[in-house]
Amino acid sequence: MKQVKNAIAVASGKGGVGKSTVAIHLALALARGARVGLMDADIYGPSVPTMLGGGSTPQPAAQPGVIHPVEKRGLKFVSMGLFTGRDTPVIWRGPMATKMIQQFLSQVAWGELDYLLIDLPPGTGDVQLTLTQSAPLVGAVIVTTPQEVAVSVTLRGLRMFEQVQVPILGIVENMSAFVCPHCGKATNVFRSGGGKKAAEELGVPFLGEVPLDPAIAEAGDAGVPVVGEDGAAGASTSARAFLEIAEKLTREVGRVNALTQSVHHQPSEVKVAEGVVEIRWTDGHVSRFPFRALRQACPCALCVDEWSGERRTDPNRVLMSVRPLDIHRVGRYGIQFHWSDLHGSGIYTYDYLRSLDPMAPKQSRTP
């Protein structure tokens, strides 16, 4: 993992939303210009080998206890499906599954990768917690479908990543609409816009929609994904959707990395004192923010227009009694507050928090 630049989790709150399909096609789209690996972390239901057209058993590397990933269609990948028969169930308790995940992370010779996509099992459990604690994730992509039940479950999965301080790189809405192959008309088989609405409510990026395309299912069964290694991938609507989502994802990864690199002062301690949030910085300075003033300064997309920078809400309407109910770090660059007025989508970057404190020493930036 030391040679992996960006590890990205691909997750969903429930099964059946096409998470593995999205993970595979995003990996293939990214591989058109980058070095990409794919880890199938769905130990109990591995599908990556089938959808990529099979694969051989991983071979031992020179280092004892280490294996080489299988290479297929320009990707390096590992999966439990490479070690079991097609109809062989994996009947393991949680500790065994988490141990296998740790081996995938530490005992696979991934080599130099620009991106490692990790296809997680659905839901929130041992495997997800193991990965967030063991892998230096740059962030997570959340996959959902338009139905309300899928979106509501997705929100719980998203909150799990927030609680373990993994940034949300964006939401992908899969099976958004059926596009007739004959007339080109789009029909909302389920409903429309659930993923985008969830992204707006939570203040996280919306990466895009993937249509309900029979060609995707057929390609998965045949082991020939719709995003190929050649330039013909742009011929289908679904392939173009994956390529556009991958492009947005790379920009979001770059944004998160830039935020991380721009942080020169980190909080060494964040605590709630009497009426204030107290932040002690690594340079020794201590910032004290009154609860209401900090809530009024929320930088989320619901409170501040992303284009004009103007405030969209009236700060005077914030309750005098507002207080933080929960505070946690987000990735390597900011803090998120969940307030007593049920607002909690704002991520306060460390730079932004320093700017809110007029007494904080100016940061000296290095080139």
Same domain, 322 and 188: no
Q: Are residues 258 and 271 in the same domain?
A: no
The model's pTM is: 0.71
Boundary-marking domain end, from 205, 233, 262: 262
Token digits of residue 39? 């880890």
Structure confidence at residue 232 as a pLDDT band (50, 70, 90): very low
Locate 92 and state its tokens: 């393991």
For 216-251, what is the HEC assignment? HHHHHHHCCCCCCCCHHHHHCHHHHHHHHHHHHHHH
Same domain, 228 and 305: no
Per the prediction, the chain carries an average pLDDT of 85
- Residues 134, 244 share a domain: yes
For residue 367, the model assigns a pLDDT of 32
Residue 313 has pLDDT above 50, yes or no: yes
pLDDT band at 184 (very low <50, low <70, confident <90, very high): low
- The total number of structural domains in the chain stands at 2
Domain that holds residue 317: 267-356
For tokens 């499906």, what's the residue?
81
Rounded average pLDDT over 83-112: 83
Q: Report how far apart the first and last C-alpha atoms of the chain are (Å, whole number).
A: 27
CA distance 273 to 102: 39
The percent of residues in the chain predicted with pLDDT above 90, rounded, is 41
Given pLDDT bands bounded at 50, 70 and 90, which one contains residue 185? confident
Indicate if 251 and 323 belong to the same structural domain. no
Q: Which residues pair with 144 in a beta bridge?
A: 173
Instruction: Indicate if 218 and 317 belong to the same structural domain.
Output: no
Nearest Cα to Cα of residue 28 among 226, 213, 253? 226
Pairwise CA distance, residues 281 & 286, whole Å: 6
User: How far is Cα of residue 215 from the mean position of the Cα atoms in its chain?
Assistant: 26
Rounded Cα distance between 289 and 204, Å, is: 25
39 strand-pairing partners: 78, 118
Determine, yes or no, domain membership for 242. Answer: yes
- Does position 265 have pLDDT exceeding 50, yes or no? yes
Is residue 365 predicted with pLDDT exceeding 60? Answer: no
Asked if 128 and 36 sit in the same domain, the reply is yes
CA distance 206 to 360: 34
Instruction: Specify the 3-state DSSP secondary structure of 4.
Output: strand
Question: Is 361 inside any structural domain?
Answer: no
Overall average pLDDT of the 102-123 stretch: 91
Domain end point (choices 218, 242, 262): 262
- The average pLDDT across 179-192 equals 73
Q: What is the pLDDT of residue 248?
A: 96
Q: pLDDT at position 238, please?
A: 87
Do residue 166 and residue 306 come from a single domain? no
Residues 86-103, buried b or exposed e (16+ Cβ, 10 A)? eeeebeeeeeebbebbee
Q: Are residues 21 and 170 in the same domain?
A: yes
Question: Model confidence over 326-361: pLDDT tens digits?
Answer: 997 765 678 889 999 999 888 898 889 999 999 988
DSSP classification of residue 60:
B
Residue 289 in tokens: 């923010």
Tell me, yes or no, whether 362 lies in a domain. no
Among 236, 262, 288, which residue terminates a domain?
A: 262
The verdict on 195 and 276 lying in the same domain is no
